[in-house]
């Protein structure tokens, strides 16, 4: 799985003259969008978590762009005028931690290019196309195994051209290091080395770089005014048509869940088969848990535990696992989901009571406080956003009331997490449940419980009321093995990973504002 991308964007763009006198080439505009920003959006849509951009000329443009996209990290090549693209890649390589996609900044391309590379079984893939007649072709020659033999703008240096270099490649970490080693050995005699020269050098050093040719790929590198005209009039319309054909029909769902999803979340499920017991998949689940945790607190203080199932399963996990045999639970009921929490407690024959509250008026906190003082309760369970009525319960205030009394809080945040900002420490929440198909905007099939680590560790040794849904057993097993105890829904977790990437980009605060705006539109119409 490729998680990182590097964009080399330090060049002067001198052949574009006045069009780049105040900006890098990547900030040329087509149809109202910057070239590099179009590329960044496509990378994010294809599951890239981290985008390292090598900057040089007018680097402040990229610094500003990085403020808009949290996934971007910029690295400045101070000697951009005295080095070629490989010099910029060398600067970026110090930040790289895994296999990468490598892209030039001045490209437009059909996003199928990214899918082609990510889906290819070879670890190193140089993307090529058929003839473009652009007048600035970079030719690729291959050997009998369709691996790189030569890359040059001079056809006579290649011999027979197999494809034209697109400017997008997939590289293993090892191959990237080989390229840097090759470049370092030629700093004196080739100070302005381009990265494609280092690709050939790495191949000669024993790396294997497969060339994947997509004969009719719609793409263009923009180096001069004629390229820009061709891109605007011919290539961009083809790209837009191709990508529009692949769009999934959009429906407006007015049900409480599942939520509508982006095409990129849907397409994330279409991936190569993988055994969920493989290390790569375990690492992805670890990333999912860590990133979910960072939405609500610090990783050292909180943990996220994954289960296959719905939000109700996560509720049952909490109620059945977090209240000890000698505990006493108070459940706030002001809607169907509060009733469901009570039903779960009754099935397990727990010691519990129900605090009844209006389904349409705010909870009387004074009355609730008196109830808490009277009952010797050890735990309280409540719903943050009671979906059936739309009530947003004052959980931060209730949480503080409970913590002041030494009561552990168990909160259903199925319809609240990722819709409103939640800080478990600030809001005095010890355990809370949510699911992949609500406001995180993934697909249905995965639920998770957020846990205060200190309270979670107190569950060690507690008698298990059930097997599949035991919180501590699931947590302990995953911590040791990076595997869930039972088969996880592979495709749904891939979609959840993509949904997390998109939530990080939008931010929960901005999502809350968007949801509020949608609500106001709906209310005005109704």
Mean pLDDT of 137-154: 97
Express each pLDDT in 422-465 by its tens digit: 999 999 999 999 999 999 999 999 999 999 999 999 999 999 99
Structure tokens at 208: 């294997």
So what's the pLDDT on residue 255?
79
**284 neighbors 493 (Cβ within 8 angstroms):** yes
Rg over alpha carbons for the chain, rounded to the nearest Å, is 27
Strand partners, 388: none
So what's the pLDDT on residue 404?
98
Q: How far is CA 115 from CA 84, 196, 239, 300, 428, in A?
A: 28, 22, 14, 36, 43
Q: Is the pLDDT of residue 14 over 90?
A: no
DSSP code string of 156-220: HHHSS--EEEEEEEEE-HHHHHHHHHHHHTTTTT-TT--HHHHHHHHHHTT---EEEEETT--EE
So what's the pLDDT on residue 257?
78
**344 neighbors 316 (Cβ within 8 angstroms):** yes
Q: Is the pLDDT of residue 211 over 80?
A: yes
So what's the pLDDT on residue 349?
98
Nearest residue to 296 via CA among 73, 525, 449: 449
- What is the Cα–Cα distance from 102 to 510, expressed in whole angstroms? 30
Express each pLDDT in 48-58 by its tens digit: 999 999 999 99
Strand partners, 435: 447
Express each pLDDT in 231-280 by its tens digit: 999 999 999 999 999 999 999 887 777 889 999 999 999 999 999 999 99
Domain-by-domain residue ranges, the chain? 4-245, 272-525
Express each pLDDT in 335-393 by its tens digit: 999 999 999 999 999 999 999 999 999 999 999 999 999 989 999 999 999 988 889 99
pTM confidence score:
0.95
Q: What angle do CA 498, 501, 504 make, to 5 degrees?
A: 150
- What is the Cα–Cα distance from 147 to 47, expressed in whole angstroms? 27
CATH assignment of 4-245, given 3.90.550.10, 3.30.2010.30, 3.20.20.100, 3.40.50.2300? 3.90.550.10
Q: How confident is the model at residue 13 (pLDDT cuts 50, 70, 90)?
A: confident
Query: What is the fold of 272-525?
Result: 3.40.640
4-245 and 272-525, same CATH topology: no
- DSSP class of residue 309 equals S
């Amino acid at each position: 799985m490729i998680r990182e991308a590097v964009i080399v964007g330090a060049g002067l763009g001198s052949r574009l003259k006045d069009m780049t006198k105040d900006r890098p080439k990547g900030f040329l505009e087509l149809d109202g969008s910057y070239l590099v920003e179009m590329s960044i959006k496509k990378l994010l849509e294809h599951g890239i978590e981290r985008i390292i951009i090598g900057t040089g000329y007018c680097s402040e443009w990229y610094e500003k762009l990085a403020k808009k996209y949290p996934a971007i990290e910029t690295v400045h090549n101070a000697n951009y005028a005295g080095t070629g693209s490989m010099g910029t890649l060398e600067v970026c390589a110090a930040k790289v931690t895994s296999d990468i996609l490598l892209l030039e900044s001045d490209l437009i391309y059909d996003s199928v290019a990214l899918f082609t590379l990510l889906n290819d079984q070879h670890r190193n893939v140089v993307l090529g196309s058929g003839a473009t007649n652009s007048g600035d072709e970079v030719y690729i020659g291959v050997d009998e195994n369709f691996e790189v033999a030569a890359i040059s703008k001079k056809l006579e240096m290649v011999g027979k051209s197999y494809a034209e270099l697109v400017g997008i490649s997939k590289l293993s970490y090892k191959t990237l290091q080989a390229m840097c080693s090759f470049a370092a050995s030629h700093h004196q005699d080739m100070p302005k080395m381009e990265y494609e020269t280092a690709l050939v050098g790495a191949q000669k050093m024993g790396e294997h770089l497969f060339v994947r040719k997509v004969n009719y790929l719609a793409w263009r590198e923009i180096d001069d005014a004629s390229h820009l005209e061709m891109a605007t009039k011919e290539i961009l319309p083809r790209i837009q048509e191709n990508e529009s054909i692949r769009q999934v029909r959009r429906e407006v769902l007015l049900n409480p869940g599942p939520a509508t999803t982006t095409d990129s979340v849907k397409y994330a499920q279409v991936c190569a088969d993988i055994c969920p017991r493989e290390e790569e998949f375990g690492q992805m689940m670890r990333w999912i848990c860590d990133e979910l945790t960072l939405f609500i607190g610090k990783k050292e203080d909180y943990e996220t535990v994954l289960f296959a199932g719905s939000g109700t399963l996560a509720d049952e996990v909490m109620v059945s696992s977090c209240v000890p045999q000698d505990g006493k639970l108070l459940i706030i009921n002001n809607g169907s989901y509060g009733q469901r929490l009570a039903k779960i407690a009754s099935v397990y024959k727990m010691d519990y009571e129900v605090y009844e509250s209006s389904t349409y008026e705010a909870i009387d906190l004074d009355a609730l406080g008196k109830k808490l003082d009277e009952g010797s309760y050890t735990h309280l369970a409540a719903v943050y956003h009671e979906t059936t009525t739309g009530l947003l319960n004052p959980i931060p205030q209730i949480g503080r009331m409970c913590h002041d009394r030494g009561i552990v809080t168990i909160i259903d945040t199925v319809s609240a997490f990722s819709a409103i900002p939640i800080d478990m420490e600030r809001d005095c929440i010890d355990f809370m449940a949510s699911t992949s198909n609500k406001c995180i905007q993934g697909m249905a099939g995965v639920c998770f419980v957020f846990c205060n680590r200190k309270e979670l560790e107190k569950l060690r040794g507690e008698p298990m009321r059930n097997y599949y849904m035991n919180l501590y057993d699931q947590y302990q097993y995953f911590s040791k093995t990076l595997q869930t105890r039972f088969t996880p829904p592979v495709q749904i977790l891939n979609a959840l990973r993509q949904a997390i990437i998109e939530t990080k980009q939008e931010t929960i605060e901005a999502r809350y504002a968007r949801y509020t705006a949608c609500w106001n539109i709906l209310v005005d119409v109704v």
